[in-house]
Amino acid sequence: MSNVTPESAELVHYEVVDGIATVTLDSPHNRNALSQQLVRELFSALQQADSDEDVRVVVIAATGRVFCSGADLSEAAAGSMEEGARVLVEMQRLIVSHAKPVVTKVQGAVRAGGIGIVAASDIAIVTEEATFALTEVKLGLAPAVISLTVLPRLTSRAAALTCLTGETFTGVEAAAMGLVTQAVPATELDDAVARVVASLATGAPQGLRETKRLLSRDLLARIADQGEEVARLSASLFGSDEAREAMTAFLSRKR
């Protein structure tokens, strides 16, 4: 069976029901990796939710056993990541600055760049069994771009442990580190998200918007101050011989 998905196939679904916009990543061929097409569609969905006056809350979810596997390494290995790195900076900025509360619902594994989506969101509810890993270090990379939102969520000790080892940690550990809001049994994920969303939806639009502005002020300042610097660092690392060899070896093992 081919692992290639046609460009015409929609990778991000958008649905609004009772004032709740659900944005669903659905790219099974690459485990919801942050391909150019998926990121482009994610941007479009989030912008649509931002401008829709009927939307009170946004939920980012995913299909399958993996929430997001991080950067699309097949694309990264084939060309420059300079533009892609800047786009990922802007993706985090868009989520952080969104006028509506953004809740991330994590049903499965999250790796590398995908953790940036989780960290940028206002509230993240995950299953206890969900796994996380900042695997960049193992590929000669660094979590440069997502450091904008990930590092402020973590204690300095947790950041050093997770970023330097690249090892896997659970949803329960992610909650203890401050990376996510709450970890619940898989059977309770839908209900836990529904409760939080229902509570958020009782907020007045102006109250939600202005409270979000207060909460996101420091993160947005960090993105504005460091975004270009970490994008350049990310692009240079992805373009290095060491990282290209590591990515090629990784992709070969997957085939």
Backbone angles phi, psi at 4, to 5 degrees: -95, 135
In a domain, 69, yes or no: yes
Rounded to an integer, the average pLDDT of 146-171 is 98
Rounded to an integer, the average pLDDT of 152-181 is 98
Cβ 113 vs Cβ 68: under 8 Å: yes
Q: What is the CATH number of the domain that holds 235?
A: 3.90.226.10
Residues facing residue 110 across a β-bridge: 68, 132
In a domain, 124, yes or no: yes
DSSP states of 103-163: EEEE-SEEETTHHHHHHHSSEEEEETT-EEE-GGGGGT---TTTHHHHHHHS-HHHHHHHH
Cβ 145 vs Cβ 234: under 8 Å: yes
* pLDDT for residue 1: 36
Domain residue limits at 34: 1-184+205-255
In a domain, 189, yes or no: no
- pLDDT, tens digit, 9 for 90 and up, residues 187-205: 999 999 999 999 999 999 9
In a domain, 218, yes or no: yes
- pLDDT, tens digit, 9 for 90 and up, residues 65-78: 999 999 887 776 55
Its pTM surpasses 0.85: yes
In a domain, 198, yes or no: no
Across the chain, what does the average pLDDT equal?
93
Query: Based on the structure, what is the number of domains in the chain?
Result: 1
Rounded to an integer, the average pLDDT of 118-142 is 97
**Is residue 231 very low, low, confident or very high in pLDDT (cuts 50, 70, 90)?**
very high
- pLDDT, tens digit, 9 for 90 and up, residues 2-36: 344 445 699 999 999 999 999 999 999 999 999 99
Percent of the chain's residues with pLDDT above 90: 86
> Distance between CA atoms of 69 and 33, rounded to whole angstroms?
5
> Distance between CA atoms of 73 and 71, rounded to whole angstroms?
6
In a domain, 196, yes or no: no
Expressed in angstroms, the distance from the first to the final Cα of the chain is 12
In a domain, 192, yes or no: no
